[in-house]
Structure formats: C-alpha cells, structure tokens
Amino acid sequence: MTWLLKAVTGVWLLQLAWRFKRALAVSAVAVFAIAAYGWAGLVLLVVGPPLLALLWRWVHPWSYWRFVGWLVARHRLRTTYGLRWAEVMQSCGLHRPIPGRPGEFTTPRLVRVTDSPVGDVLHVRLLTGQEPGDFERQAAELAHALGAPAVRVTSAGPGLVELTLVERDVLADAVELHDVEAVTDLRAVRFAVGEDGSWRTRDYANIAAEVGGGVPGSGKTAGETSLACGLIQNPAVQYVVIDGKGGEDWSWIAPRAAAYTNEDEDLDVVLELVESVHRLMRARLKTQKTQRGRANFWDLPLDPAHPAVFLVVDEVQTFTDQKGMDKDTKAVAATITARLSALVKKGRSAGVITRLLTQKPTSDAIPTAIRDNASVRTAWRVLSDDAAEAILGPVVRGSAVTPVDIPVSMPGVAVVADAGGQLERVRFPYVDEHTAEQIATRTAELRRDLADLTGPVPAEDATADESASEQEATA
C-alpha cells in the first residue's frame, strides 16, 4: 500500500533526488555555469576548485591540511568503518539484543573519526551500562576486526570511549632536537613524547625528587640532558650536577652549572657539594617566611635571585651503595645518603629538586626511604620485574605497560606514570652533547655559583650540621 501512496504523491521522486543529491547539485551548477557563461564557465568550474585548493595550501598550509584531514576522516567514518561498524561490534560481543525483537540488536554509536600521528581514532558513544573496560577486554578482537596491528582504548569522558588504531609506533623513531626551547613555566615542562605523538609535560613545582633507573645505555643520561637543556635557559633555575660515572657525560654543563663534579672516588668532594645544597635548603626553610613572606618556595614568584635548584646525581649508586667500601668511605657514603634523604624529604618547599639516576635500581643503591618519597619515577629499559618494581613501585606488577620489554634498539624509551598515576610509555628527545654544550655556553651568564646561593657557613650551623650528619649516618 505504501508504495502505491508514494507513487501517487510523487514522494518516490523526492526520495530518488535525495539519494543522488550530490550528483544533482554538481549537474545543476554545471548547467548554470554553461547557461550563464558558455563553455568558458564550464572550464572555469573544472579548473577553478583545484587552483583554489592549491592557493589555499600555499597561503595557509595548516588550515588546508586540517581540512583535508577532516574530509578524509569523514570519508572513513562513512565507508571504511561506518559500513562495517555493526558487524564489528557484533563479532566482538559489544552489541546488545533488543528485548522483544528477536534477531535485532543495538550497538555503541560510532560518532566521529579523527586522525592522529599514530593512526585513526574512532570516537564511540557507549550503550547504557557499558564502560571502557568492556572495550579494553576486547582490544585484541577489535584490532583484528578493524584490521589494525593494535587498538588502544581510552576513556574520553562519561559514556564515551576512544579507540586508537595503532598503525605506527611513534616511539620507534628517535626525536632528535637540534635546539631546545627555553622552559618558561616550571609547572608545565615538556620532557618526552607520548604514544599518541604529542608532548608530555611535568609540573616541577611542589616536587621534591625524581628517581630514574635503567640498564647501561638505556638513555638515562641523555634523557636528563635534554630536560636540563630546556631548564638551564631559565634564569631562575640553577643546576648542581654530580656525575658518579666519573666520565665526561656531563662536562657540557660546566659553564652553566652552579656546581659540577665528576669525582667518583674521593667521596669527600661529593659530600661537600651535597652538604652545600643541604645547607641552602635548611637556610631557605628557616628564613624564607620571614625574608620573603611565604613558607613554601612555590607560593612565591620565580625569581633569579632565589632560583629553583636542580641537584642531579647520575649513577648515584657510586655514592650510596656501600658494598665493597672501606670503613671510612662507608661513613662518608652514609652521610651522603642521609643528606640526599633529607633533601628528598624536605626539599620541596625550599625549591630544591633532587634527581637521582642509577643503573642499579635496588634498595642498596636507592634506599627505600628515598625512593618512596620521590614522586616522579622513570624506568628506562630494565631486565626484570623486580628492577621495574624497584623504580616504579608495586603498580607495575598489575600493569600491561612495563619497562621490561623495551627493545635494546630503542634507547630513550621509558615508562613513566602520567598525571593520573597510570603507567605509559614515552620517548625522551635526544640532544647531542655539542648542541647541549652550545646551549650551556650561550646561557653561561645565567650561572650563579653555589657558594653565592648558600652564603657563608654560620659557625654554629656548621657544628650542628656535623653532629646531625653523624646521627643520621649511624641511624
């Protein structure tokens, strides 16, 4: 009956026209162009749009490529993914039968497709009662059904989930920097690239310490170097570097560092430096409120006269792991460890950030008291779950993301915790040491000597320090 009604009223004609709306629109424009301007109009119609597109691409490539990306994504929404969506959902068990209508089902809705450096991202609205975990459990099936090597599932707000079809491993390629942007905001410091190809940032305000570990050659020093290259360009940042490897990995920073040593045998030299930073911390904690008005360094504006101090100790096990040391050296090592421990615990509100790197992520190298107070942790390639746990904590045991399987061929790839505490893989950028050296030389006038920052040692404080160190060392 309905077909008769449609035939009589002419609705069928409208339906047919709607179906071929694009072809009809193009023909109408062509007919109009011929009628108004003759064949020249038609030629203009054929040549005009490509020329306009070329002009657009030349004048404003950014918006042009965005528009092209949007068109391609729209096309994929309708064809590649849209046409098979119901079948994919059903084969992965993510559909729901409609009660009372046997054989029929509803599926989560594919809302949008966007592109990313990794591959297409499908934005999906969940059915009531579903949660992102339902998709996570089916990730492997989804990858096969959608023809992608892997599918990453992320929650994108209430009732929404994003499926990233991972076609390319962004982290497989090195991110080499030939210059590094200056860090102006310590609350958002770019440190590495995430798996979606975009930069990750860290808030260095209100952080006391960071520990990082990984096997030799995994990229610890290089990662720390790239971070330092951005930070040293800020006049309100001073760096103190202690290189326990005893080599020249850090010599590039000497012109800019408030203090630098690569002494790995005479632990007294190292102790003296650590003591200085510790003294600065104590002085700030004691006088900051009366002199500058606030007890917390990070509540005050950043000021080159009162810089944030980054203390980097590379291969920290040289100074903390007492195995094989003679008695006197052991005592010095214990004091260094005690001082580092105090810095890690109390340095935050004094604007002192302690960063410890090691090849040996065990409790001998980084005592648990230090590790547990380090809020930022980075694990480059390690060889065992125990080593991974020693750096990242127990969270790594139940996580699919682990630093144990990072390939040797990918130095600079590491596992870090994101702002929400979830573990993720990132790749640190690589800055070769000549570039780093140039940056350090260029910014050498921003250097302030550590002795100027700490001021002279008050006599009573020096004695108090000595007795405190003895107590902590024996503790």
Ligand X SMILES: Nc1ncnc2c1ncn2[C@@H]1O[C@H](COP(=O)(O)OP(=O)(O)OP(=O)(O)O)[C@@H](O)[C@H]1O
How many angstroms separate the CA atoms of 40 and 459, rounded?
A: 95
Measured between alpha carbons, how far is residue 136 from residues 33, 82, 418 in Å?
Answer: 54, 21, 19
Which ranges of 293-409 does DSSP label H, i.e. alpha helix? 317-320, 327-346, 368-373, 385-392
Is 245 among the residues that bind ligand X (CB under 6 A)? yes
Is 358 among the residues that bind Mg ion (CB under 5 A)? no
How many angstroms separate the CA atoms of 460 and 76, rounded?
A: 74
Is 217 among the residues that bind ligand X (CB under 6 A)? yes
Site for ligand X in 412-471 (CB under 6 A): 412, 428, 430
Question: Phi first, then psi: what are they for 242, rounded to 5°?
Answer: -120, 115
Stretch that binds ligand X, among 220-228, 253-261, 263-271, 391-399 (CB under 6 A): 220-228
Is 473 among the residues that bind ligand X (CB under 6 A)? no
Pick between residue 354 and residue 454 the one whose CB is nearest to ligand X.
354
Binds ligand X by CB under 6 A, chosen from 99, 103, 216, 420? 216
Q: Secondary structure of the chain: what % helix, strand, coil (to 5)?
A: 50, 20, 35
Binds ligand X by CB under 6 A, chosen from 108, 219, 307, 351? 219
Binds Mg ion by CB under 5 A, chosen from 116, 138, 218, 221? 221
Measured between alpha carbons, how far is residue 40 from residues 33, 34, 35, 48, 357 in Å?
Answer: 8, 8, 10, 11, 72
Sign of the dihedral defined by the CA atoms of residues 261, 249, 191, 379, in that order: negative
At closest approach, how far in Å is the CB of 247 from ligand X? 8
Stretch that binds Mg ion, among 41-49, 63-71, 214-222, 265-273 (CB under 5 A): 214-222
Is 220 among the residues that bind ligand X (CB under 6 A)? yes
Q: Could you tell me which residues are annotated as the binding site?
A: 214-221
At closest approach, how far in Å is the CB of 273 from ligand X? 20
In one-letter notation, the amino acid at residue 16 is L
Pick between residue 221 and residue 454 the one whose CB is nearest to Mg ion.
221
DSSP state, 195? T
Count of positions (residues) in the chain? 475
How many residues form the binding site for ligand X (CB under 6 A)? 15
Q: Could you tell me which residues are annotated as the binding site for ATP?
A: 214-221
At closest approach, how far in Å is the CB of 336 from ligand X? 19
How many angstroms separate the CA atoms of 315 and 262, rounded?
A: 11
Contact between 210 and 353 (Cβ < 8 Å): yes
Binding site for ligand X (CB under 6 A): 174, 214, 216-222, 245, 359, 411-412, 428, 430
Binding site for Mg ion (CB under 5 A): 220-221
